[in-house]
């Protein structure tokens, strides 16, 4: 009998009115579990619990918050193989990637455990005699979180951990496709000693649970990671709400990797293969535009093609698999639609792009590499979110930089070069929140800010000490001595 995983509200696991299956994209005959489908009533109960818990938690001893987060970190790290397998089963990442993501979640928890002890303020002299000024940071309140399917434990963790560290209470709705990893994380945090109501989990449809979260007057802030269209709607709703909600958005990317004539070819190929195709290309930081200058273009395409031919696409849990399946049928359909669009626009499907059959039924797609792409084509402008990359030829560095910046997105940008002059100029002039030199555009550290500009991000950065900008509010207090 399949286990039903329940929502977690006010410190209790609540039996759902209905549940939905969580399928393994590597083997669609396997049901990972049945997960609750929350209702508006569930969401309202979770917000009420978070509101009730907020006064005590926001004023709690920082040592308590440290202890809870560190205990959770230790359990996550101790169970990383088990949790990594769960992640890979529900999302389709290869097992090493799944285990790596779980380890990162553990690191995030330990970082923010220490942040609970590091939060400080300022004592400032006033321009008026006898007046003292204190600048402090306080928790915002009840934080609503809506997380995506492509990083099922890392992204929930990098939202929940700072929220709790800085004294907020939380209601989280994970992506409907991958609720299992978030459920496991919430269970671990609960058993680590969180008071009732501090952390609440309501799984279910975004149109039901997410919408109710947006409309609830006792949700003080929304942190969202997902599509641009949904992010824009959330931002508008938060501004229109009464009272207005603080909002943080991480959305799409159409990230460029520039390869110059002087690049180390092996380094450039590895950056492109990793950034564009690993994790099945299902990363907002993926290198979907490979901008290559004339002198190295043909050698780069040939070498990257050979690299792709050696990549194994198969069951995420199988040893030797480099690329797992696409997450579900809808995403597979979208990938294939864009492959057809690229061909229709006149780009050349240089290699791959075919559906693959494996031992189990699943959503397997051969990585697709397009050449002869113009930056005006849809495959160069719209986020595909799959193992599809477009090679765009450039005459030299100046044109390559111009093409890299010619996008509505601005999350991550990379360059492969041995030139200090060009790498320094690119770091300064690439219109992106994160810049990589001789590294894949995907792959960031947990202790530094994550985020972009233009259509990729809105609001304060996530991760690292910069997370306090969203999860705290500043208070200035004056005292006449």
Beta bridge partners of 412: 434
Contact between residue 374 and residue 348 where contact means Cβ atoms under 8 Å apart: no
User: If you ran DSSP here, which 8-state letter would residue 310 be given?
Assistant: T
Measure the CA angle with vertex 476, ends 472 and 481; round to 5°.
145
User: If you ran DSSP here, which 8-state letter would residue 79 be given?
Assistant: T
Extended strands (E) in 384-437: 388-394, 412-416, 434-437
Name 197's Cβ contacts closer than 8 Å, sequence gap at least 6: 10, 11, 49, 50, 52, 53, 169
10 Å CB burial of residue 121 (0-12, 13-18, 19+) is middle
Beta bridge partners of 124: 133
Angle between helices 62-78 and 95-118 (to 10 degrees): 170
User: If you ran DSSP here, which 8-state letter would residue 455 be given?
Assistant: G
Which letter, b or e, does each residue of 444-455 get, where b requires 16 or more Cβ atoms within 10 Å of its Cβ? bebeebbbbebb
Q: Could you tell me the two tokens for 400?
A: 């390559």
Q: Is 10 left (phi over 0), alpha (psi -120 to 50) or beta?
A: left
> Which helix (DSSP H) or strand (DSSP E) does residue 356 occupy?
strand 355-356
CB-based contacts of 372-377 (< 8 A; 24+ apart in sequence): 372/346, 372/347, 372/348, 373/342, 373/347, 374/347, 375/289, 375/403, 375/406, 377/342, 377/345, 377/346, 377/347
Locate tokens 């963790």: which residue?
Answer: 157
Beta bridge partners of 355: 365
Residue numbers annotated as active site = 250, 284
Name 33's Cβ contacts closer than 8 Å, sequence gap at least 6: 2, 3, 4, 5, 21, 22, 180
């Amino acid at each position: 009998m399949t286990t039903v995983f329940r929502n977690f509200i006010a410190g209790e696991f609540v039996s759902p009115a209905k549940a939905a299956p969580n399928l393994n994209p590597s083997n669609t005959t396997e049901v990972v579990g049945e997960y609750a489908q929350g209702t508006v009533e569930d969401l309202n109960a979770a917000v009420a619990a978070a509101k009730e818990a907020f006064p005590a938690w926001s004023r709690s001893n920082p040592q308590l918050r440290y202890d809870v987060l560190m205990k959770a970190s230790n359990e996550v790290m101790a169970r990383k193989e088990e949790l990594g397998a769960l992640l890979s089963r529900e999302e389709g990442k290869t097992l090493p990637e799944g285990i790596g993501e779980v380890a990162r979640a553990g690191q995030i928890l330990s970082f923010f455990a220490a942040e609970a002890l590091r939060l400080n303020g300022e004592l400032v002299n006033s321009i008026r005699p006898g007046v003292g000024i204190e600048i402090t940071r306080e928790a915002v309140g009840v934080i609503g979180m809506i997380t995506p399917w492509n990083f099922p434990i890392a992204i929930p963790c990098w939202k929940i951990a700072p929220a709790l560290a800085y004294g907020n209470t939380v209601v989280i709705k994970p992506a409907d496709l991958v609720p299992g990893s978030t459920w496991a994380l919430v269970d671990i945090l609960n058993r680590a000693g969180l008071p009732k109501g501090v952390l609440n989990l309501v799984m279910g449809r975004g149109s039901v649970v997410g919408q109710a979260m947006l409309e609830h007057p006792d949700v003080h802030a929304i942190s969202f990671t997902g599509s641009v269209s949904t992010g824009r709607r959330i931002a508008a709703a938060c501004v229109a709400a009464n009272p207005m909600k603080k909002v943080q958005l991480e959305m799409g990317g159409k990230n460029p990797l520039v390869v110059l004539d002087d690049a180390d070819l092996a380094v450039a190929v590895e950056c492109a293969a990793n950034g564009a195709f690993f994790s099945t290309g299902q990363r907002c930081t993926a290198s979907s535009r490979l901008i290559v200058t004339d002198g190295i273009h043909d050698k780069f395409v040939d070498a990257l093609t050979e690299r792709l031919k050696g990549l194994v696409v198969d069951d995420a849990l199988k040893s030797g698999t480099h690329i797992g399946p696409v997450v579900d049928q809808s995403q597979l359909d979208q990938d294939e639609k864009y492959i057809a669009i690229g061909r229709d626009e006149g780009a050349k499907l240089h290699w791959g792009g075919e559906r693959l059959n494996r031992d189990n039924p699943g959503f397997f797609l051969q990585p697709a590499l397009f050449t002869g792409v113009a930056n005006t084509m849809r495959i160069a402008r719209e986020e595909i979110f799959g193992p599809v990359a477009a090679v765009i030829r450039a005459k030299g560095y100046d044109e390559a930089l111009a093409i890299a910046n010619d996008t509505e997105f601005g999350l991550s940008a990379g360059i492969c070069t041995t030139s200090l002059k060009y790498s320094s100029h690119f770091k300064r002039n690439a219109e992106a929140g994160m810049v990589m030199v001789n590294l894949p555009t995907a792959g960031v550290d947990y202790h530094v800010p994550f985020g972009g500009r233009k259509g990729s991000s809105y609001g304060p950065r996530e991760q690292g000490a910069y997370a306090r900008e969203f999860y705290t509010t500043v208070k200035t207090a004056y005292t006449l001595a």
